[in-house]
Amino acid sequence: MTYEEIWEKAREVMAPNCKACPVCDGKACRGKIPGVGGIGSGRSFTVCREYLDSIRVLMDVIYEPGEIDTSLELFGRRFDIPFFLAPLGGMNGNYNGALTEEEFNRAAVEGMAASGGFAFTPDSPGDAVFRAALPYIKAAGGLGVPTVKPWETEKLLGRIREAREAGAMAVACDVDSCGNLNLKRAGMPVFPMSPDTLARIVKTAGVPFIPKGVMTAASAVRCADAGCYGVVVSSHGGRVLDDSPAPCSMLPEIRAAVGDRLKIFVDGGVRTGMDVFKCLALGADAVLIGRPYAVAAHGGGAEGVRVYTRKVLDELRDVMLMTGCRTLSDITPDKIRLG
Amino acid sequence: MTYEEIWEKAREVMAPNCKACPVCDGKACRGKIPGVGGIGSGRSFTVCREYLDSIRVLMDVIYEPGEIDTSLELFGRRFDIPFFLAPLGGMNGNYNGALTEEEFNRAAVEGMAASGGFAFTPDSPGDAVFRAALPYIKAAGGLGVPTVKPWETEKLLGRIREAREAGAMAVACDVDSCGNLNLKRAGMPVFPMSPDTLARIVKTAGVPFIPKGVMTAASAVRCADAGCYGVVVSSHGGRVLDDSPAPCSMLPEIRAAVGDRLKIFVDGGVRTGMDVFKCLALGADAVLIGRPYAVAAHGGGAEGVRVYTRKVLDELRDVMLMTGCRTLSDITPDKIRLG
Amino acid sequence: MTYEEIWEKAREVMAPNCKACPVCDGKACRGKIPGVGGIGSGRSFTVCREYLDSIRVLMDVIYEPGEIDTSLELFGRRFDIPFFLAPLGGMNGNYNGALTEEEFNRAAVEGMAASGGFAFTPDSPGDAVFRAALPYIKAAGGLGVPTVKPWETEKLLGRIREAREAGAMAVACDVDSCGNLNLKRAGMPVFPMSPDTLARIVKTAGVPFIPKGVMTAASAVRCADAGCYGVVVSSHGGRVLDDSPAPCSMLPEIRAAVGDRLKIFVDGGVRTGMDVFKCLALGADAVLIGRPYAVAAHGGGAEGVRVYTRKVLDELRDVMLMTGCRTLSDITPDKIRLG
Amino acid sequence: MTYEEIWEKAREVMAPNCKACPVCDGKACRGKIPGVGGIGSGRSFTVCREYLDSIRVLMDVIYEPGEIDTSLELFGRRFDIPFFLAPLGGMNGNYNGALTEEEFNRAAVEGMAASGGFAFTPDSPGDAVFRAALPYIKAAGGLGVPTVKPWETEKLLGRIREAREAGAMAVACDVDSCGNLNLKRAGMPVFPMSPDTLARIVKTAGVPFIPKGVMTAASAVRCADAGCYGVVVSSHGGRVLDDSPAPCSMLPEIRAAVGDRLKIFVDGGVRTGMDVFKCLALGADAVLIGRPYAVAAHGGGAEGVRVYTRKVLDELRDVMLMTGCRTLSDITPDKIRLG
């Protein structure tokens, strides 16, 4: 299957919830929740692409050529690529139910493992969604990061235990789901994350713990103080608070505040290897990609995930070639210009 | 009644003067005076929404959760909400006469009192409009702020006396009406406010006095020097001077100039709880909302006012939840980023 | 006649060269030379309105009221208004010939004199256009500023002598016509203005001399050093060099460079009293208005000029009322904010 | 032939690959490679015109007039004009084959030589394209700069030898072609340029050597250190890396870094004499023009090249006249304002 065939197929099976647009920028689905859009005015989603598009990249081809290496170390393992599949749930509520949660999670975990990366997997009201991914993560040797909602502490710790028992190499928690309307409606209490609770979770988790939904330097410092392995700088795809800035726009000050105390992941509007490059230059260690992987999985299952991953990797390597970056650590802030 | 029903109903009864647009931004009514538009090019109105929309809000959900408190103290009383109904007159001239001044003022005063807030009430040529609100304010235990035009001093003091006798907890004066064309046409002289006169009014008013229509730090300092209780930073809905900036854009320098010598109210394009949050972060103590309350009253009377108030309050609480603000004093400038 | 009637009439008689647009912004006539447009891309014209529109004006109505005085002193005389009619020629070439040069100059000089101001009058190949205005200026007691092209020096001095003999109170020279294509085509040599020649002209002119078409601080300083009475900061209506900035945008640095050594006039996109106010706040002593006066004269002759002048004056007075400016010297840079 | 006739004719013969648009700005051909568009989003092309259009030029006509001299010295020779024809290949692949490489190169070399300038000539897979220009350069007394691809070193040195033997006065190398997809597809290995290799090439070339495709100060310094004669600041017409800035926007910092150690050429969106002026003011010594010369050659052969060159020269002279620049060295940064 080619990228074009996968997107064409996805357009058929995802209608009308997602249009698998040529550029996935949050305009066609503006304000559609449930659905795949951004909340309210939709600006928290659309601003992501506007910000990424405004960044210029500086070509530099006068350098000693050599092999390009896109690998990085996380959780004591080495990965071939610096971008991963973001946690995506609600196949029935937000998408149109063409894939079950099981089918999607299998495509996500297996497709990413076969690509030299891994998937973050989702949580939701009820246990089924969270558990859907665990067997695939176990089968993949722990390659996967289950992502739990900010439930009350005991339930949250229970979820972490399940993940650890499945061999998951780390656990994330999308703390910004405390404003998620779907969860409110389902009567499942979720909460902001107290720094004390966070420290307790980190201490008892037994695996690296990564809060997702950090947008300020102050929040990131609290996560570092609590002993977290990393954070995901994220506005939850623009779905939990209107008028958020592009997460990647916050990277420079977050990196300046935490130095190398945390691994910094980021998501929000990332579509291409060029976008991955820009996020790394802004200060991220690695990048999460959401909606395009949903399209890839709907259009081609695990193979769709592999094909799209390959496309993004090829793009990233092309940009690295043209900017004199042989390793990810060469992708420094001076490689870009803010608009 | 739901918000949607109220707006739908308002669209019927307010045509053609006001279209109760999905986003009330001054475009459909540009330049319509009499009517509900901004003066001249209409930019003094449209710039308000453009400025508010350009502000980004920083999510922060790593904090100790707790009850959210949106209350504040004004005039020695405690209110549940930090946003109030702006003075709106001209039901016949600017609106289409579907509501009488009495009907509108009743909906305004009663609806706001029932919502834990209060209404500013209007003045106009003739005594009828000014007096229309007073019985309702009296019945509500003084919950209401009659707003007088900048008449010659004795007439102005007479109006204040009437308001005080009705038990009104404070009086405002929209000093920027000195440029109002309707008043000019009606042959009723209005004037810029001399600082000496202002000091005399404050001294004799017997209730807190609040000039409305202050756009510069220098003006605000003059009001503080004259002993005013507060000011309303306002461009009169963009109706008295073309090419004014968004009032909220002036808040940081006005706050810096007056510190806590004045309570600072602001209006101009505020539509949602997100907008209220942004205004408070910019330096306001409280916010006035105008045109949307006119729509709410036309579409649902006092109940319309309550339903819309509830909507804005819910939105404000959601933003506070997602930004780590438990009280209004937590809504500080670092919670936002200017565009 | 009302302003609306005048513009309506002008639309009939000026077609197709000028459309007397609701806002005269250089878009409908972009690139039309001969005609009334800006040169090339037309940006030197359109940027004028974009810049003026981007300026915000700060309302301030807490002040001691009093009479508003819009008068200023120039050439030892006192004028009621700080805006004047710019030199406009080519009634046949650029406009459609509905008015003869004589008819236009009569309307210009008489209309402005009756309004408490004066007109700059034009020059062109041949002597007829230049001489058309002189009898009217003489009859008006010298109220008028003939504006000569930058001919070779002896011809230029001859023109000045004629103007002086007609009693003209001053003479201007649109030095930027050295790039005018119409003059090139007519085989009439025009030249950049040598500083030495300029000093010689000033010395022998016998009347105040004002170069028009100065866009830099360095140029203005050269004019001051040569003894000029003033300069007109102008890009010739955007008709002689593409991609010029808005003349008024250069005022702050030009004023800073020359202090009060020169009277500074400015033109470029000025349409309303609000625009006049902004230009004065940016540093001008007085303002020239071009195309709208052409429309006014075509639509109503001298009366059209008077009616439009009255409209602009009323607008200026309204802005002064709302910003606490009682005299022109109160219109200082702090009254505006650059966009 | 007039400019208009040439463009009209080109529109016929170049369809559908190039539309010879009124303003060649990369919009109609966005993303068309093969074809004449920019890569990917097309922004690396479109940003060039947006940046050039955003620059304002400061009129200054108070100066001592005199002859305008647009000549400059390069390679020990004197040229009448400071803009040259950029290397353009792929007449069959990118254009529609209406001209053979021979026909185009002849028009380019002869047309530019007859205009007091010279052409850069192209390279491509196979030897035919590179060699097509050499006889014409030889016949023109060496007026031409063959531009080689960044092949492996021995092949590259062979190309330089051929150019030198044809008497070419200099050789360029579009080092940014290391990312060119057409070459990848043709199985011809191209590489980033190692600084050591660059120094070796410069030492053995026997003619001045000019890397083309330098976008950073650091790259330019490496070229200076390697002994290059100059560099072409270029993003290859926006065809090799998406999201590049406008090359001319990088000129100030590149000039600051290398001083006069290098001759600095620039290309990217240059269409008019106004654009040439802006590039020189930004810090370039000379300018390359690409696509418009392709249109000129398709529409009129060598005469088309001459007519377009004359047009650009006339425009440049007009701008110099209106800005007080009598020689190219007068075109300094203070003549422009960045947007």
Q: What is the pLDDT along chain A (339 residues), one digit of tens a residue?
A: 999 999 999 999 999 999 999 999 999 999 998 899 999 999 999 999 999 999 999 999 999 999 999 999 999 999 999 999 999 999 988 999 999 999 999 999 999 999 999 999 999 888 999 999 999 999 999 999 999 999 999 999 999 999 999 999 999 999 999 977 667 777 788 999 999 999 999 999 999 999 999 999 999 999 999 999 999 999 999 999 999 999 999 999 999 999 999 999 999 999 999 999 999 999 999 999 999 999 999 999 999 999 999 999 999 999 999 999 999 999 999 999 998
Q: Which residue of A has its CA nearest to B64?
A: A194
- Please tell me the distance from the alpha carbon of residue A300 to that of residue A291, in angstroms, as a whole number: 14
- How close is the nearest chain B Cα to the Cα of A327, in Å? 32
| Each residue's pLDDT tens digit, D111-136 | 999 999 999 999 988 899 999 999 99
What part of D 115-174 touches A (C-beta under 8 Å)?
150
For A58, which of D40, D191, D216 is closest by C-beta distance? D216
Query: D11 Cβ partners below 8 Å, 6+ apart?
Result: D19, D20, D299
Say how far apart CA D91 and CA D98 lie, in whole Å: 8
CB contacts of B242 in chain C (<8 Å) are 57, 274
Chains in touch with A (≥3 Cβ pairs < 8 A): B, D
Nearest to C159 by CA among C121, C131, C199, C181: C131
The answer to whether the peptide bond before residue B34 is cis (omega within 30 degrees of 0) is yes
Q: Do B194 and C65 touch (CB under 8 A)?
A: yes
For A35, half-sphere exposure in the C-beta direction (CA atoms, 13 angstrom radius) is 19
Strand, coil or helix: C296: helix
Tell me which of D49, D159, D212, D236 is the catalytic residue. D236
> Which is it for strands D286-289 and D263-266: parallel, antiparallel or unpaired?
parallel
Query: Is A215 within 8 Å of B62 when comparing Cβ atoms?
Result: no
Distance separating the N- and C-terminal Cα atoms of chain D: 37
**How far is Cα C123 from Cα B129, in angstroms, rounded to an integer?**
60
pLDDT tens for chain D, residues 1 to 339: 999 999 999 999 999 999 999 999 999 999 998 899 999 999 999 999 999 999 999 999 999 999 999 999 999 999 999 999 999 999 988 999 999 999 999 999 999 999 999 999 999 888 999 999 999 999 999 999 999 999 999 999 999 999 999 999 999 999 999 977 667 777 788 999 999 999 999 999 999 999 999 999 999 999 999 999 999 999 999 999 999 999 999 999 999 999 999 999 999 999 999 999 999 999 999 999 999 999 999 999 999 999 999 999 999 999 999 999 999 999 999 999 998
Question: Are the C-beta atoms of A241 and B57 separated by less than 8 Å?
Answer: yes
- Note the pTM of the prediction, 2 decimals: 0.97
| Residue D54 and residue C186 in contact, taking contact as beta carbons nearer than 8 Å | no
Return the residue of B nearest to A190 by Cα.
B65
Q: What ipTM is given for this predicted complex?
A: 0.96
Least confident range from B3-7, B96-100, B152-156, C89-93: namely: C89-93
Q: List the catalytic residue out of A30, A106, A149, A236.
A: A236
Contact C/D (≥3 CB pairs under 8 Å): yes
Q: Is the pLDDT of residue C309 over 70?
A: yes
B274 touches chain A (CB under 8 A): yes
The length of chain C is 339
Chains D and B touch (3+ CB pairs under 8 A): no
Long-range contacts of C13-22 (CB under 8 A, 24+ apart): C13/C96, C13/C98, C13/C298, C13/C299, C14/C95, C14/C96, C14/C98, C14/C295, C14/C298, C15/C96, C16/C96, C17/C94, C17/C95, C17/C96, C18/C95, C18/C96, C18/C291, C18/C294, C18/C295, C18/C298, C20/C295, C20/C298, C20/C299
H/E stretch holding C137 reads: helix C134-139
Cβ distance A214 to B62 less than 8 Å, yes or no, reads yes
Our answer to whether residue B236 is catalytic in this structure is yes
- Measured from the Cβ of residue A66, the count of other Cβ atoms closer than 10 Å reads 10
CA-atom Rg of chain A in angstroms: 18
Percent of chain D with pLDDT over 90: 94
Q: DSSP secondary-structure letter at D286?
A: E
**Residue A218 sits at the chain B interface (C-beta within 8 Å):** yes
Question: D318 — contact with chain C (CB < 8 Å)?
Answer: yes
The nearest CA of chain A is from the CA of B152 a distance in Å of 45
Contacts of C58 in chain B (CB under 8 A): 215-216, 244-245, 250
- Closest CB from A55, A59, A65 relative to D213: A59
Q: How many helices (H) and strands (E) does chain B have?
A: 12, 12
Q: Which residue has the tokens 């003939």?
A: C146
Cross-chain CB nearest to D61 (options C43, C178, C250): C178
The burial of A165, by beta-carbon neighbours within 10 Å (0-12 exposed, 13-18 middle, 19 or more buried), is given as: exposed
**Residue partners of B275: CB distance under 8 A and separation at least 6:** B52, B269, B287
Which member of C30, C236, C255, C306 is catalytic? C236
DSSP string for D130-158:
HHHSHHHHHHTTT--EEEE----HHHHHH
Torsion of CA A88, A89, A90, A92, to 10 degrees: 90
Helices B217-225 and B251-258: crossing angle in degrees, nearest 10, is 30
Q: Does A66 touch chain D (CB under 8 A)?
A: no
Q: In angstroms, rounded to a whole number, what is the distance separating the alpha carbons of residues C255 and C270?
A: 19
- Which of D3, D50, D59 to probe the C interface (max C CBs under 10 A)? D59
B56 touching A (Cβ < 8 Å): yes
